[in-house]
Structure 1
């Protein structure tokens, strides 16, 4: 693979810009969601550079495709830091890819901006985590499902760190509040249709109240298609997810996804001026392709980085991290800021249901942004089970 700057600009070719690495897969099992990360990142870089860059210098991106392979992430992160002179990387989507590059990032005292939701239980002074952790999505989803869909949960996930940890957390929360996990199944990340079909048949036979899915990529999309092909009605037994949003539901077929549930800090139907500006810019650049939380959070973190960089005038990791905790960005999902206690984002949780036309209707929203608790020190539901409130 060859290094490539995202823009053919003379100023960038002259080497006068702020060099940054971009490490998202455009091919492989997670290509769909990581391409959205890439597009959101590219849009933010273009906006910043069109406005004159940061302190008069343009952002100079160097992008690689790790092909959804953790070993490639590690190799290319090393290349960015040691050969391409980048000290800041926007990249990784799955926890396995983040874990693969983390030793490289820390060994080189570089800075990784990581925008995916993840299972928590991690802190590094060399990472800014802008995606939701379980106390900002899983807790709310468990409470909503127990209140609105029943107590019998079926868990299905891909066999790696994030799904197993997410399901462990979901099991703890459900069982602590009187629910039951009637089965828990794991499949390879790129599960074959026959294995997925067996799981769907099992769900149809057992008839749980709800299915919590942590499948990813092509396997997740095939699972949703098989679900309807086997006659399971989402109005009766919905699939609840932390990841299945606008881009992938369109790939599946929005009519097949009507009635399914997502817990996310952003859906593109949010009605606020910042989101309207973002969507106008997004559609002007990418046409009818829908924006989602995958693209939105990637977009947000580049703008947050630019604000921090404007303060420091330096790519020094410690200075950027300190400044990132002092600035705020008026993002499409609301005011975005980083908690200095753990380098994670303060976010507003939301729960939404997909309509047959692909629009997600928000059915519950947090009353205020929630501080991240990546180590999940409390499973308490008090905030979501107030008298008279139906989350």
Structure 2
């Protein structure tokens, strides 16, 4: 009996020590697809989060504790994102989560974060039309990417006919709905807009590219605005080259193709096609050079590249660290309040600030694909652009604003009716 009692006491002491040890770390959840169609884009975001956490720990951690990464793989499976988010928050007891790429994955986890009152930093361009108290949107809203890209094509390329090509899910459909309304407001005729959607992982582009080629053969300048996501980009760009479509004929401006995606392509036939982001690896400044050097050292591969969503995680992570220090706690309610107004350096030059609508300020850059897989920056906004969560070009949205500060604390306040529509 004495032995059993001693064993029980020992077990209790071990359990207590384990709990104390767990309490000695601040857990950071990483919710990115490491397998499936989106792994081509998301695996790098997991890696950069591990780097940022390691660097913060070398600086002494946060609030006197070391940070601990908790990595899960939702495997490009949208319902599984919600399940893994719940696991991170309820079981693993993480203090914050960095993750998701597609809007369908973000919308899958949104109710989980609101129910359990946790924090998600979302690092990818998206369609807007959303503002959650528990989500901080560090990627571009449409007015920080899609609309400036169209403006550039109109002004610089004199484009008159438009192909809106996207993957068949919420981000491309909503973004293209906004872009279609914007183009019509600019005087573009409906017959000069072609819209096409394909499923995730779509591989057979021969007929669609032939249709694009025919649409652009009228003698009027035509461009493709691409919201094609994931590994479907590889056969899409290959088919453009196969059918002899050059950037001088029908330029493509992409919102989901960056340096990481180009690493898997033969870029020689794609020279001159475009992408709109808020950051490119080719940005020249000391902060970016230091970030690139740190990344290559961490990943132990000089050929690995950086990209826009990585910078968004860099911004978001540093904002979270600063807000935790400001609040003196990792408690989500306190950190959510502390995040508004936080300003940190971005890698494109200057500082990005977290606004009351949980979106950040960012410059907008247009880059032209080069043969080496990098982008030459051909256009940049003169200053920072504030992310607009509700589109000015959609009925039902143009009268809405988001402000999560007290006393308003509303994600969709109607300025005409003076009422909050709820979260």
Secondary structure in 2 aligned to 1:26?
A: coil
Choose the corresponding residue for 2:232, options 195, 215, 219.
219
Shift of 1:308: 1.3
Q: Cα deviation per residue 1:321-365 (whole Å; 9 max; x = unaligned)?
A: 222223222121234434432010111111111111222111111
Residue 344 (str. 1) matches residue 359 (str. 2): yes
- In the alignment, structure 1 segments of 5+ residues that lack a partner are 1-9, 380-391
Name the CA shift for 1:359/1:83 in 2 (closer, same or farther; >3 Å): same
Instruction: Return the alpha-carbon distance in structure 2 between the equivalents of residues 242 and 317 of structure 1.
Output: 31
Secondary structure in 1 aligned to 2:386?
A: coil
Q: Cα deviation per residue 1:117-139 (whole Å; 9 max; x = unaligned)?
A: 10001111111111110111111
Instruction: Return the alpha-carbon distance in structure 1 between the equivalents of residues 132 and 151 of structure 2.
Output: 30
Residue 376 (str. 1) matches residue 387 (str. 2): no
Instruction: Return the alpha-carbon distance in structure 2 between the equivalents of residues 296 and 256 of structure 1.
Output: 27
Instruction: Return the alpha-carbon distance in structure 1 between the equivalents of residues 106 and 129 of structure 2.
Output: 13
Residue 299 (str. 1) matches residue 314 (str. 2): yes
**Structure 2 match to 1:274:** 287
Kept after mapping to 2: 8 A contact 1:38/1:295: no
**Structure 2 match to 1:4:** none
Shift of 1:376: 2.1
**Structure 1 match to 2:369:** 354
Residue 331 (str. 1) matches residue 342 (str. 2): no
Instruction: Return the alpha-carbon distance in structure 1 between the equivalents of residues 244 and 269 of structure 2.
Output: 11
Instruction: Return the alpha-carbon distance in structure 1 between the equivalents of residues 346 and 355 of structure 2.
Output: 19
Q: Equivalent residues in 2 for 1:242-261 (5 A)?
A: 242-261=255-274
Indicate the larger mover: 227-236 or 11-20: 11-20
Instruction: Return the alpha-carbon distance in structure 2 between the equivalents of residues 364 and 325 of structure 1.
Output: 29
- In the alignment, structure 2 segments of 5+ residues that lack a partner are 1-17, 395-423
Instruction: Return the alpha-carbon distance in structure 1 between the equivalents of residues 172 and 310 of structure 2.
Output: 21
Name the CA shift for 1:124/1:58 in 2 (closer, same or farther; >3 Å): same
The higher-RCO structure (CA 8 Å, 6+ apart) is 1
The TM-score normalised by the length of structure 1 is 0.90
Shift of 1:14: 5.0
Kept after mapping to 2: 8 A contact 1:29/1:218: yes
**Structure 2 match to 1:234:** 247
Instruction: Return the alpha-carbon distance in structure 2 between the equivalents of residues 23 and 192 of structure 1.
Output: 27
**Structure 2 match to 1:75:** 83
Residue 106 (str. 1) matches residue 114 (str. 2): yes
Choose the corresponding residue for 1:41, options 42, 49, 60.
49
Shift of 1:147: 1.6
TM-align CA RMSD: 1.9
Shift of 1:244: 0.9
Shift of 1:55: 2.4
Shift of 1:300: 2.2
Q: Equivalent residues in 2 for 1:1-391 (5 A)?
A: 14-149=22-157, 150-180=159-189, 181-193=192-204, 196-207=205-216, 209-286=222-299, 287=301, 288-377=303-392
Structure ID, larger Rg: 2
Kept after mapping to 2: 8 A contact 1:156/1:186: yes
Kept after mapping to 1: 8 A contact 2:62/2:321: yes
The count of residues paired between Structure 1 and Structure 2 equals: 368
Shift of 1:197: 1.5
